[in-house]
Amino acid sequence: MDALLVVIALTVLLAVFSFIVGLRGAQRSAMEQRLDSFRSERQPNETAEAKEQGPVFRKRSYSGLPILSGFIGGIRGSEAVAISLERAGVPLRVGEYYIIRWVAALAFLVVPWVFSQGIYAIALGIGMAVFGYSLPAMWLNSKKSGRARRINAQLVEMLGMVANSLKSGYGLMQSFEFASKQLDPPLAVELKRMLRDANLGMSGEDALQALSERIGSPDLDMVLTAINIQRAVGGNLAEILESVAFTMRERERIRGEIVTLTSQQRLTGYIIGGLPVGMLLLFLMINPTYMSLLFTDFAGRIILLVAVCLEFLGALSMKRILAIEI
């Protein structure tokens, strides 16, 4: 019976891990797919791998040690991790990031053995190791999302500055330089980096594409797509950017309305998610002896572990359901 409970616990942990990986590996939004159809193919002689990596990310140091850097560069997914670190604004190499993840997993794996030994400690240690390994990735995704939100909030202001500068007779790069001096980080930092790349010999189109890859914002992709279309077919770029800015303002307004309309559902999710934890604490205060079986008995520990996993799955599912993209 004890072996069956261990198998059930490991199966639930594997399901939780697979669920997290599935959420992170979700398909791109429909807007990103539509924007890809408008992006120009500038260098037909490049290989497919070089095109995916972009003009900035082809030569990168993954670690301070050249040998380790070459080894990490051969690992699948290292380039995606490097781009995620760029988009989050985290000054870490990929090798350092991997070390942090494995150290966190090892630390969480050892923690249960400090208090007890046995099958339960092994199962709990494996679960905590998975959580510890995923914790830096969660933090990185949070940093990346927060930075993207701040940049998106600055894009409308930047478009207004660039459009007004173009109307005054400035060139496109001069307009971006003016905007970079007026805006606050993080968008100002990225604009200055784009201008530095252009001044060091990179073409304007490649510099803008590198900016898009570093930021990873669908809104910025829409702006750069509009600029590429204007360069291909002509037209008044200032008016085009003003139209894009109007579209982005309307999208922000619709996002605000969605947040307002879904506030009741989000509050319901918080209450339902916190109810089991609240009831557990309440019963611990009323009858601690009765509830102590969840912590002292082997079957109770397995039940508690399964309950925590199901609670985590429910929270992720609710967050996914309420994540409406515009």
- State the CATH number of the domain containing residue 194: 1.20.81
Which range of residues forms the domain containing residue 207?
Answer: 149-252
- Give pairs for 7-14: CB < 8 Å, separation 24+: 8/302, 8/306, 9/123, 9/127, 9/302, 9/305, 9/306, 10/123, 10/126, 12/305, 12/306, 12/309, 12/310, 13/123, 13/126, 13/127, 13/130, 13/309
pTM score, two decimals?
0.65
In a domain, 132, yes or no: no
Please state, in angstroms and rounded to a whole number, the distance separating the CA atoms of residues 197 and 202. Answer: 6
In a domain, 178, yes or no: yes
In a domain, 51, yes or no: no
First and final CA of the chain: distance in angstroms?
50
Nearest C-alpha neighbor of 83 from the set 217, 215, 225, 222: 215
Would you write out the chain's pLDDT as a tens digit for each of its 326 residues? 455 555 455 555 555 555 554 544 444 455 555 555 554 444 444 444 444 444 444 456 676 666 677 777 777 778 888 888 888 888 888 888 989 999 999 988 888 777 777 777 777 788 888 888 999 999 999 999 889 889 888 988 899 899 999 988 888 888 999 999 999 888 999 999 999 988 888 888 888 888 888 888 888 888 888 888 888 887 888 888 888 888 888 888 888 888 888 888 888 888 888 888 889 889 888 888 888 888 888 888 888 888 888 888 888 888 888 777 76
**Contact, 319 vs 272, CB < 8 A?**
no
pLDDT at 192: 92
In a domain, 112, yes or no: no
In a domain, 137, yes or no: no
pLDDT at 32: 54
In a domain, 35, yes or no: no
User: How many folded domains does the chain comprise?
Assistant: 1
Question: In angstroms, what is the C-alpha Rg of the chain?
Answer: 25
In a domain, 105, yes or no: no
In a domain, 321, yes or no: no
Q: Counting Cβ atoms within 10 Å, is residue 7 exposed (0-12), middle (13-18) or buried (19+)?
A: exposed
